[in-house]
Structure 1
Amino acid sequence: MHAQVKWIQGMEFSAESGSGHTVRMDGDKATAASPMELVLMAAGGCSSVDVVSILEKTRQQVTAVRCDVDGKRADATPAVFTDIHLHFVVTGTDIAEKHVERAVQLSAEKYCSVAKMLEVSVNVTHSFSIEAATE
């Protein structure tokens, strides 16, 4: 796996993945997400992929999945994350709580590479709620 980061101006950077996708970053958060915000987004994205994939395999009638990710950082430099919480909101029809609970648990304990990597030094927690789809 490879990535390349190029300075644009000020604290703005462009990153390109080895697969050819680009994302902008801004250390000042004026024009794009900061690198630390991208870490939170990566954790939420990685785990969301797992949760959706697992729920699809259990044939749940899911119409939407949202992952709200909150991070707390240390007061001192470097301001690393000390705590990250991922809360999944699963929307659909007749969604079984046991399936959502299992999907979130499997992502947390087995599948999400980003969260597994972060939990070595960060307290990573998970929760979920289920909402009925509106017709």
Structure 2
Amino acid sequence: MKAEVKWIGDEMFAGFSESGHTITLDANGGKLAPSPLENVLISLGSCSSVDVVSILQKSRQNISACRVEISGNRVDSVPKLFSDIHLHFVITGTDIAEKHVKRAVELSADKYCSVALMLNKAVNITHDFSIEEDK
């Protein structure tokens, strides 16, 4: 896997993936685009969500939506690394079994999500979930 990042002016950078996609990052506190560290949170949430949705679908859970609310706390010293990240999954659907959601979230965090497994070596990552019934 390869990628490239180019400076495009001020504190803006364009990231180009090997698969042909482009993302813009703003190192100036995320004023015009996500900052690099915001992108880490987005990547973690995306990676985990892919697993959770896939596992719930394989468990024949009738899900209609999945979102994950992510909060990260950073240390006060430079570099301002993440010390803690919390993921709160909100699963929406009909007749969803709590045990299946719990299992899906745990499997993602502990076994499948590459981003979480890499970050886990330096960051305390926690997770929980809630289930919302379709209306």
Q: Shorter-chain TM-score: what band?
A: over 0.9
Tell me the distance in 2 between the aligned counterparts of 1:126 and 1:116. Answer: 13
**C-alpha deviation, 1:31, in angstroms:** 1.0
Give TM-score, length-normalised by structure 1: 0.98
Give TM-score, length-normalised by structure 2: 0.98
Instruction: State the partner residue of 1:42.
Output: 43
- RMSD across aligned positions (CA): 0.5
Tell me the distance in 1 between the aligned counterparts of 2:57 and 2:17. Answer: 28
Unaligned runs of 5+ in 2: none
- Correspondence 1:108 to 2:116: no
Give structure 1 regions of 4+ aligned residues with deviation exceeding 2 angstroms. Answer: none
**C-alpha deviation, 1:124, in angstroms:** 0.4
Instruction: State the partner residue of 1:18.
Output: 18
**C-alpha deviation, 1:30, in angstroms:** 1.7
- Secondary structure in 2 aligned to 1:33? coil
- Correspondence 1:72 to 2:73: yes
Tell me the distance in 2 between the aligned counterparts of 1:84 and 1:111. Answer: 17
Instruction: State the partner residue of 2:31.
Output: 30
Instruction: State the partner residue of 1:83.
Output: 84
Instruction: State the partner residue of 1:5.
Output: 5
- Secondary structure in 1 aligned to 2:52? helix
Q: Which amino acid aligns with 2:51?
A: D
Tell me the distance in 2 between the aligned counterparts of 1:49 and 1:74. Answer: 29
Q: Percent identity?
A: 59
Cα deviation, 1:65-105, whole Å, max 9, x if unaligned, reads: 00001000010000000000011000000000000000001
Instruction: State the partner residue of 2:98.
Output: 97
Tell me the distance in 1 between the aligned counterparts of 2:85 and 2:75. Answer: 12
Tell me the distance in 1 between the aligned counterparts of 2:45 and 2:61. Answer: 20
Tell me the distance in 1 between the aligned counterparts of 2:111 and 2:48. Answer: 10
How many residues end up aligned between the 2 structures? 134
Instruction: State the partner residue of 1:61.
Output: 62
- Secondary structure in 2 aligned to 1:95? coil
Cα deviation, 1:38-64, whole Å, max 9, x if unaligned, reads: 000000000000000000101111010
